[in-house]
Chains A and B, each alone.
Chain A
Amino acid sequence: VPHDEDLTEAAEAGISAAPPAGARLGAWGILAVTEASVAVAGWALVACGLPWQLLLTSYAVTNG
């Protein structure tokens, strides 16, 4: 259970326990799209059948 002082400091710092619906949707949406892109990239790279040594240093892997 957080101490009252912790809650006060958190409020002062602007840390929100329940973010607005728009922010929640936006953050989860960006996270989902980004991670889905990374998953698609990983699948596509494996499906390429190229040597993994070559793939490891590709832009697709570092960007992902």
Chain B
Amino acid sequence: MAATFAPFGALVALRRPRLAVGWLFCGFALCYGLSAACISLAMWQATAGGPNHWSSTLGWLGVFIWTPAIAVFFPLIVLLFPDGHLPGRRWRWLAGLALANGVVWLLGGAFDPDAVSGMPFVTYRTVAVSGAWGRLAHTADYVGNILVESVGLACLAVLMWRWQRSTGSQRAQLSWLAVGATIAVGLFAPAAVGVGTVWSAALLVGVPVLPAAAAVAVLRHRLLGIDVVINRTLVYVGLSATLLACFLAVVELASVIAGHNVGLGGSLAGAAVVAVAFSPVRQFLQRRVDTLIFGYRRDPSQALSQVTAQLLSDTDDEVEASLRAVSNSLRLPGLALVSGGRRIGPPVSGDGTETVIPLRYRSEAVGQLMVKPRRGQAALDASDLAALELVDAPIAAAVYALRLTEQLQRAQEQERRRLHRDLHDGLGPY
């Protein structure tokens, strides 16, 4: 917690000193850092020379000094993110409750006679409180413990409410935080409930994701689209998991073959496998994730073959079918075609900038493709445009052919009527 939150907090505080969020991150990290140092030194003192007054005092400090981090700093980070202001005056009570609870829980944890009961290195009562004051401190510790969860959940609900109402860059900033928080919680939750030791330690890598996402959201005034974030996240989470599994499998296999724990040799073999596998695994995952999010944007020949298959199929509305093929193969739901005053395709909706691509066949304009970017994307990028450029040629040809067919049908109808008039001298019914 401390080692990862502190650099991001300091970075935000240095770049945006007037923004409270950076300082809150710093405070959060400082509480946890001091707590870690106190508990560790207490353990060291207790194992080196036996529990004594120093280990008791340090252990006592370590058990309550971190409480402001989650009782005060975390709720305020959530409430004040990303611009340092509350979402509205109506939420001031929640910030006040978090502050009050922080004080109550800190004092309760410091003076509760039972707070250090499970710690073998605390053998001396540094601050002895008993009787009515002791019971009061115990109650304060208990109430603070309960209230911190309620306040935290309420603040997260306010964050969701804020996200739902936000637009533009603030929505992008909150989306970054939401993605970071989801990954951090998803990776850290198994460690918090207590799974295996190595596994839980590996899952600690999820912790830095939250401050990193918050820092990027605050400092990057031109945010990348959230699709890019999700893409990179999926790739690197998958990559980390795959390589970690490879490493552990190689070490385990080496131990099984050798019949004993191979130690450094097994670790080196695992590291070598990871080094060799890194690039191909990353490329494989990147391709899969790209296809999942962007369709066949990197391989537009696949999209082209799907469009061609629709055009060659025995269907009456081949243009509409080919549009659906483009939409599905490039994951572009907001795709429509306008030709000759007619519109083919679903209504184009979404937040991003609409791109209009003229369709030409033999230097004749036959229509326009109206394309909205994917959800979360500000605009289509160069890869999308290149893929669309490849698939729009057969669509333009199909539209041109459709137009010719309609012209031919109209000409045939006119000719039939002319012949009918000639034969009947304009007297009979058509």
B-binding residues in A (CB < 8 A): 6, 9-10, 12-16, 19-20, 23-24, 26-28, 30-31, 33-35, 37-38, 40-45, 47-50, 53-54, 56-64
Contacts and interface: CB of A to CB of B under 8 A. Distances in A.
A37 B37 contact: yes
Q: Which of B1, B29, B36, B40 has the most CB of A within 10 A?
A: B40
B398 interface: no
A36 to B, nearest CB: 8
Contacts of A37: 2, 30, 33-34, 36-37
Contact of B200 (A15, A43, A57): A57
Given A30-B10, A30-B26, A41 B39 contact: yes
Interface in B1-18: 1-3, 6-7, 9-10, 13-18
Contact of A27 (B10, B34, B37, B40): B10
| Interface residue SS majority, chain B | helix
A30 B39 contact: no
Give the top 8 A-B pairs by smallest Cβ distance, nearest first. A23-B17, A64-B36, A37-B33, A44-B40, A34-B33, A37-B37, A41-B40, A44-B44
Nearest to B32: A63
B413 to A, nearest CB: 58
Q: Which of A12, A20, A27, A49 has the most CB of B within 10 A?
A: A27
Interface of B: 1-3, 6-7, 9-10, 13-19, 22-23, 26-27, 29-30, 32-37, 39-41, 43-44, 47-48, 62, 66, 191, 194, 197-198, 200-201, 204, 219, 221-222
A38 B36 contact: yes
Contacts of A34: 2-3, 6, 26, 29-30, 33-34
Given A34-B33, A47-B48, A63 B39 contact: yes
B17 A64 contact: no
Nearest to B219: A15
Contacts of B43: 44-45, 48, 50, 58, 60
A31 B14 CA distance: 11
Contacts of A58: 39, 43
A37 B2 CA distance: 9
Nearest to A49: B47
Nearest to A28: B10
Contacts of A53: 197-198
Given A19-B15, A48-B44, A63 B1 contact: yes
Given A30-B10, A37-B37, A38-B36, 8 more contacts: A15-B219, A33-B34, A34-B34, A38-B2, A44-B37, A45-B43, A47-B48, A53-B198
Contact of B14 (A23, A45, A47, A56): A23
Contact of A64 (B3, B10, B15): B3
A38 B37 CA distance: 6
Nearest to B39: A60
Contacts of A48: 40, 43-44, 47-48
Nearest to B221: A13
A6 B220 CA distance: 10
B19 A64 contact: no
A6 to B, nearest CB: 8
21 contacts: A9-B221, A10-B221, A20-B17, A26-B23, A30-B29, A31-B6, A33-B33, A34-B6, A35-B2, A37-B30, A37-B37, A38-B37, A44-B44, A48-B48, A53-B197, A57-B194, A58-B39, A60-B36, A60-B43, A62-B204, A64-B32
